[in-house]
Amino acid sequence: MTATTRDPQYNFAYLDEQTKRMIRRAILKAVAIPGYQVPFASREMPMPYGWGTGGVQVTAAIIGPDDTLKVIDQGADDTTNAVSIRKFFARTAGVATTANTTEATIVQTRHRIPETPMVEGQILVYQVPIPEPLRWLEPREAETRRMHALSDYGSMHVKLYEDISHHGRIATTYDYPVLVNDRYVMASSPIPKFDNPKMDNAPFLQLFGAGREKRIYAIPPWTAVKCLDFEDHPFEVQHWDDACAICGATDSFLDEIVTDDAGGRMFVCSDTDYCSGRVAADQKESAA
């Protein structure tokens, strides 16, 4: 865990207080209606659209001086974007930051849910590019809103049907559509479907921010999240034949890394914190 001093040139966490209140109101509404997309007045942030502005605004609205923030991008704490967002909050909020999932109070993520199970009291903030799960089928915003209002979701299954008819199985492997609290169909954000089961009945709060599309949605703790599927093609997570080459885990999401031009490859945990934690524990054990 590292702590820094806040840059006094900025308001706490960059956004002005009125903006934070506006975002918090949107968040409250989102939490009250699980899976429902709440429009909000997304602000100009010091990074372009597509680089996590939604997630950053949600985090900025909820973070306090006593919070500890972890930021991951595709599971790793040390990628450019994760580093840059972490530094942003360190500077504008002066909060403690960490790579350790268990130490964090807020985890902002792009494209993964941490392998280490999160607990009650923690908040997971997702960065979302396209919040509307029906957008692929229906380009009109007025129409998709109506479809959500009327639970007009037949077309979601049309997409899965198309997958099966073309590929023999549901080919969607990330941003898998889910039914939240038995009511709203929601875009789970581009996390691999491997992570979807973690969303179901989770003890932690899940917040989703889409900056460019100006939408916030949420899944309060202990909410049912069901992946859409067919009776004869039930939802399945990905499996690997290999274990992580670094820590030996067989239960985590593995990235495939090409090691040479001869087609050599190895599989390593996408979640760097999880992986290094297992290695450290192993070393402790062998030392003991």
Which of 15, 170 has the CB closer to other proteins? 170
x/- string (CB under 8 A) for other proteins, residues 86-125?
Answer: ----------------------------------------
Decide if 227 is catalytic. Answer: no
Which of 62, 170 has the CB closer to other proteins? 170
> Does 287 interact with other proteins (rule: CB under 8 A)?
no
Which of 156, 216 has the CB closer to other proteins? 156
Q: Given 52, 54, 227, 247, which residue is catalytic? A: 247
Decide if 247 is catalytic. Answer: yes
Decide if 269 is catalytic. Answer: yes
Which of 139, 203 has the CB closer to other proteins? 139
x/- string (CB under 8 A) for other proteins, residues 203-232?
Answer: --------------------------xxxx
> Does 137 interact with other proteins (rule: CB under 8 A)?
yes
Q: Given 35, 54, 209, 211, which residue is catalytic? A: 35
> Does 257 interact with other proteins (rule: CB under 8 A)?
no
Which of 146, 265 has the CB closer to other proteins? 146
> Does 165 interact with other proteins (rule: CB under 8 A)?
yes
Q: What is the 3-state secondary structure (H, E, C) of the chain?
A: CECCCCCCCCCCCCCCHHHHHHHHHHHHHHHHCCCCCEECCCCCCCCCCCCCHHHHHHHHHHCCCCCEEEEEECCECCCHHHHHHHHHHHHHHCCEECCCHHHCCEEEEECCCCCCCCCCCCEEEEECCCCCCCCCCCCCHHHHHHHHHCCCCHHHHHHHHHHHHHHCCCCCCECCEEEECCCEEEECCCCEHHHHHHHCCCCCEEEEEECCCCEEEEECCCCCEEECCECCECCCCCCCCCCCCCCCCCCCCEEEEECCCCCCEEEEECCHHHHHHHHHHHHHHHHC
**Where on the phi/psi map is residue 217: left (φ > 0), alpha (ψ -120 to 50), or beta?**
beta
To other proteins, the closest distance from the beta carbon of 142 in angstroms equals: 13
> Does 168 interact with other proteins (rule: CB under 8 A)?
no
> Does 235 interact with other proteins (rule: CB under 8 A)?
no
CA atoms within 13 A on the CB side of 159: 18
Please select the residue that binds other proteins; options are 4, 116, 152, 172, rule is CB under 8 A: 152
Residues lying near other proteins in the complex (CB under 8 A) are found at 137, 146, 150-155, 157-158, 161-162, 164-166, 229-233
Residues with catalytic function: 35, 244, 247, 269, 275
